[in-house]
Amino acid sequence: MFRATVLTLFPEMFPGPLGLSLAGDALSRGVWTLEPRQIREHGLGRHRAVDDTPAGGGPGMVMRADVLAAAIDAAAPQDDPRPRLLMSPRGAPLTQARARELAQGPGAIILC
């Protein structure tokens, strides 16, 4: 069975659109499982901080690598065969061919 673990700051958004159409039908029939996990549980300090200013300066905030590493480690041990996927506008598109390839495996750990 395909097991999707989604690491996010907004777990309440899931299943969202994944709960509709064919994906939602398959989810309700138990063909695959969805496990949203809150990244903030691994945040630092009293406010569970998950981001910080960029190391090189500049505007905005970036996610802390140490917090993300802790969230990933808690979601799956090192020997978990599922690929780790980072959703990013700069990454390679998630094509139908890649989705079919992933569907043949045990699942994925998705950071978004």
Output the pLDDT for position 56: 87
Report whether pLDDT(20) > 90.
Answer: no
The full set of domains in the chain, from first to last, is 2-111 (3.40.1280.10)
Instruction: Identify the residue whose tokens are 């395909």.
Output: 2
pLDDT tier for residue 7 given thresholds of 50, 70 and 90: very high
Cα 67 from Cα 40, distance rounded (Å): 8
- pTM for this predicted structure: 0.87
Output the pLDDT for position 96: 95
Tell me the pLDDT tens digit for each residue of 42-77.
Answer: 999 999 999 999 988 889 999 999 999 999 999 988
Token code pair at residue 104: 């043949």
